[in-house]
Chain A
Amino acid sequence: MSRPFHPADQDPVPAALRGFARAHADLVQLHERPTHLVAKQRNASRRVGLVSGGGSGHEPLHAGFLGRGMLDAVAPGRIFASPHNRQVLEASRKAAEGMSGVVHVVKNYTGDRINFGIAAERLRLDGIEVRRVLVDDDLATESTETATGRRGTGATVIVEKLLGAAADTGLDLDELAGLGAQFTAASRSLAVASRAQTSMHTGQPSFSLEPDELEYGVGIHGERAQKSITRPPTEELVDRMLDEIVAGLPAGPDEVLAVVNGLGGTTQLELYGLHELVATGLEHRGLTLTGALVGTFIPALDMAGFSLTLTRMQPEWQPWWSAPTVTPAFPRTSEETA
């Protein structure tokens, strides 16, 4: 039993968003009714607004990536729930000001697809051009039997970073939508958990696991994985995950980006130890690591576990990964402007 420290008797999301906006008042502006946040700075070379959003409980995604070099506006939903189409609509209207249109970065979940889709229809009625980049990297949900497709998980931060830098080179809507689809297609992820996230209502884990059990292929909304496995030593676990992810990647260059992402209840000490295993594991497989993010970027509240994401990098994408950002949460920040 470990109850979270949310303000009493309140939906935790609005309070957290107000605190977030206060803490980063130089970078973001919070609007309510409907709830959305807008970056206060954007590079002058940008011609297309970048908008994302999705359920809360995955902080710092997406609001933490608002700002120079990344997103222009975001629509946060309630915990693990899609934002309303009005939130996406208002966020997009703000992001579209002075731009030739907006690109929506959408994680592949039915609710997000529908609500972003309705907002896109309304934007078109307003005369605002919209393109969608659908992020669907989670190998655990790859199935030919369902029409829903792979879930969107860890690759989202990579897509938002690369697309942001690409947008700052002045590319147009169709060029960015095409690139976003390529970034997503070049990315695969897999996640494991040793403990479920704490239920906001009961203070108990949302599902229970034996000490020697792992959820293998877990999602970011507290849903169980399709299988539980007996927990192997960590080296073996990382090896198995890398095997599956590398096999799942499309053919391409041997240069890769890696994201070692904590699911909310995993320490930096663990994550950097995991990254060391990932880096050596990639070397053994003949792959060259050209960039890495290690930390908590897309958690499932306080779930104990981690996800690994790999993206095969085209040489021309590399400068976009290295380009500076000024956002609340992307780790490599810089005061320089791109």
Chain B
Amino acid sequence: MPFDQEAVLRRFATAAADAHAELTALDQLSGDGDFGDNLRDGLQDAVDRFESSGGAAFAVLGEVFLDEVGGTSGPLLGLLFTEIARALSTDVEPAVAWATGTAAGLDAIQRVGEAQVGDRTLVDALAPAVEALRGGGLADAAEAAAAGAAHTAELRARMGRASYVGDRAKGQPDPGAVGIALLFWSAATVTHPSSDLPPPLPSVTRRAPSAVNGRTPPRAHRT
């Protein structure tokens, strides 16, 4: 069965829109507060570009994040999406493609960003998900990513802007890590519609598939 990239893109876009206020609040604790905007708007732009020009949904997603999305995390996420897209374009089982693509994406992100596990970055959610995919499926990866993201609340930042504020952001998770958890949650709930995975942020609503397949709601504003 072909993997429904489009459905994952749409669910991820909806989840990021739902999580916007919370992601923004988290990023204001430790960064410049633009992560919620960047993730939501980048995903919406990817949905728009996919609808107007077609192609593989994750290839479009990667291109938009590499070319258009600001901040440091935007293009780093673009590297991950591009590697997932490359793996999904090969003739292997979706679970294998996700394992290969996310592992390559993690490598690329670490080569560029030089972050290790424990530095309070998106790597803290991505690395456990990659590990989970070695033997398990997307539901295991989603659980691992959510746990990894939650654990960043205990960590002190060493990289990125959050490193300037020391312990002040402790107690709350890193927004980039939460963004990664949202990606895996979206992929897992599309792939296993009957699963009852809790979303990684309470504000993200578990929509019925019919709603998910519709257009995401328009943004209140663009920045």
Contact = CB atoms under 8 A, between A and B. Distances in A.
A305 to B, nearest CB: 26
Interface stretch (B9-17, B72-80, B120-128, B140-148): B72-80
Contacts of B113: 114, 117
Interface string B54-78: 0000000000001100001001101
Interface stretch (A118-126, A157-165, A216-224, A245-253): A118-126
A111 B159 CA distance: 12
B111 A121 contact: yes
A118 B108 CA distance: 8
A147 B113 CA distance: 13
A117 B82 contact: no
A114 B111 CA distance: 9
A121 B67 contact: no
B82 A125 contact: yes
B170 interface: no
Interface in A112-159: 113-115, 117-118, 120-122, 125, 147
Interface residues of A, number: 13
Contact of A117 (B78, B86, B112): B112
A282 B75 CA distance: 46
A124 to B, nearest CB: 9
A236 to B, nearest CB: 36
B49 interface: no
A85 interface: yes
B79 A121 contact: yes
B75 A118 contact: yes
Given A125-B82, A125-B86, A117 B111 contact: yes
B67 A86 contact: yes
- Interface residue tally of chain B, by bracket? 10 to 19
A147 B112 contact: no
A118 B112 contact: yes
A114 B66 contact: no
Nearest to B108: A121
Contacts of A125: 82, 86
A121 B86 contact: no
A271 B114 CA distance: 39
A147 B160 CA distance: 11
Interface string A77-112: 000000001100000000000000000000000010
Contacts of A115: 75
A85 B66 contact: yes
B158 interface: yes
Nearest to A117: B112
Nearest to A34: B67
Nearest to B86: A125
Contacts of B112: 113-114, 117-118, 120-121
B79 A118 contact: yes
A120 to B, nearest CB: 8
Contacts of A122: 66, 79, 82
Contacts of A111: 72
A85 B86 CA distance: 20
A118 B70 CA distance: 13
A121 B82 CA distance: 10
Contacts of B67: 86
A111 to B, nearest CB: 8
Interface string B70-105: 001001101100100010000000000000000000
A32 B127 CA distance: 38
A290 B78 CA distance: 47
Given A118-B66, A121-B111, A122-B66, 19 more contacts: A85-B66, A86-B66, A111-B72, A113-B112, A113-B114, A114-B72, A114-B76, A114-B113, A115-B75, A117-B111, A117-B112, A117-B113, A118-B75, A118-B76, A118-B78, A118-B112, A121-B108, A122-B82, A125-B86
| The 9 nearest A-B residue pairs measured at CB | A117-B112, A118-B75, A121-B108, A85-B75, A86-B67, A121-B79, A118-B112, A114-B72, A114-B112
